[in-house]
Amino acid sequence: MELLAIRHALSECSHFHLTELIVESDSQKGISMLNGRVTVDSDLEGIVFDIQQLVASLSRGVIMFEITLELTGS
């Protein structure tokens, strides 16, 4: 679901010609797939491809995929 949300957000940003973006996510596996650190699951290949194409279509943008961790004390 996280990758679908990222694809949708990037698509909307592209539609409105936004070029400077920061995408943050707590989906470690999804971010790793987008950054090429792990093999893309076959059922997510199309979504990952779409995201990569949307990122590449930005004329002058900064995209940072980050893993956001929330630590709780015991």
Contacts of 56 (CB under 8 A, 6+ apart): none
pTM equals 0.75
pLDDT, tens digit, 9 for 90 and up, residues 12-66: 988 998 877 777 777 888 888 888 888 998 999 999 999 988 888 876 555 556 6
Q: What is the pLDDT of residue 28?
A: 81
Half-sphere exposure of 41 (CA within 13 A, CB side): 8
| Domain locations along the chain | 2-67
